[in-house]
Structure 1
């Protein structure tokens, strides 16, 4: 009873000794690429039926079309667009204002340098008030008299005090009303009160 399965199969006539020897031989190492199953040779020489793979039918629902935005989403999108346009318009206005200011500064600087009447070797100190500060400028005697008469004005350009004619100062004020210009307006002499005699 202790016969092995092999002995039992031989006695029963189910296998032959050649088949057993062939089964006991070591198998060669499998190759790295296995032949495709479709083309594997068959032992009985019957043609291998080719099995067509069934076409996969998508059971998925059709792709959803972009859904309509809700009223709230439409409102927020419109508001964001309006805010963006307003911001762009404000930035454009700021750029235009900055460009106009730059152009005005350049025109003012050109007017001042073209009509500058400062004298380098002037020796009379002329004091004038700007706000709460007392500033000074060295002028000639003729310039001092013209300043006192209101015929010359003092303007600042690049931190330098410049003397310019009154008509140029008025042109500059027309271009840039915020420009600081010191103009002396001579006061009319007041009439002395008559004493009752």
Structure 2
């Protein structure tokens, strides 16, 4: 009994040649459908992978475009701020004895100004702009417009040192020559 089950059934007379032929055809159809199904599944997986890759690339491109647009907007606002400063800067006198001291970060800087400019700086009508270690005096209205575009270019206004009305130590003045 070395033959296949089909041959054994035919020899025993339990199945006819017609039935054997039909069984072979059905077996082939099932195998073909299985392969076709796998092919369809593989194609579907490839399509899904391509679609996912395309969506990921589109999202990455949108993100890069947004970043580029933000950088361009930042450059444009910086250029506008510098243009405003350059167009509205106050001309400082060439020779002056009055020195206006101001703090920039942790260092004390100074500009030589005339009496009218010193008074306007003290009242806040003029402000100081700093770009690449160059200090420029501009009107307060222009400074506000520049601050809207680039807040780090305009130096902050000096803080008021006058004591509050309800300060209990307002009557006690600290001497200038006091050493700690």
Q: Tell me the equivalent position of 2:70.
A: 97
For 1:151 and 1:177, how far apart are their aligned partners in 2? Answer: 18
Q: Tell me the equivalent position of 2:112.
A: 138
C-alpha offsets along residues 166-189 of structure 1, whole Å, 9 cap, x if unaligned? 111111112234444332354566
The structure 2 residue matched to 1:168, chosen from 106, 123, 142, is 142
What do you get for the CA RMSD once the two structures are aligned? 2.7
Q: Tell me the equivalent position of 2:92.
A: 119
SS of alignment partner, residue 53 of structure 2:
helix
For 2:93 and 2:118, how far apart are their aligned partners in 1? Answer: 14
**Deviation, structure 1 residue 122:** 4.3
Bigger RCO of structures 1 and 2 (CA < 8 A, at least 6 apart)? 2
The structure 1 residue matched to 2:127, chosen from 136, 143, 153, is 153
**Deviation, structure 1 residue 164:** 0.6
Q: Tell me the equivalent position of 1:86.
A: 59
SS of alignment partner, residue 109 of structure 2:
strand
Contact 1:147 1:184 in 2 (8 A): no
Contact 1:149 1:184 in 2 (8 A): no
Matched length: 129
For 2:95 and 2:123, how far apart are their aligned partners in 1? Answer: 19
Q: Give unpaired runs (5+ residues) of structure 1.
A: 1-66
For 1:108 and 1:118, how far apart are their aligned partners in 2? Answer: 18
Contact 2:103 2:109 in 1 (8 A): yes
Task: Flag the structure with larger Rg.
Answer: 1
Q: Tell me the equivalent position of 1:35.
A: none
Q: Give unpaired runs (5+ residues) of structure 2.
A: 1-38, 172-180
**Deviation, structure 1 residue 96:** 1.2
C-alpha offsets along residues 125-165 of structure 1, whole Å, 9 cap, x if unaligned? 32211222222222222222211111111011343100011
TM-score normalised by length of structure 2: 0.59
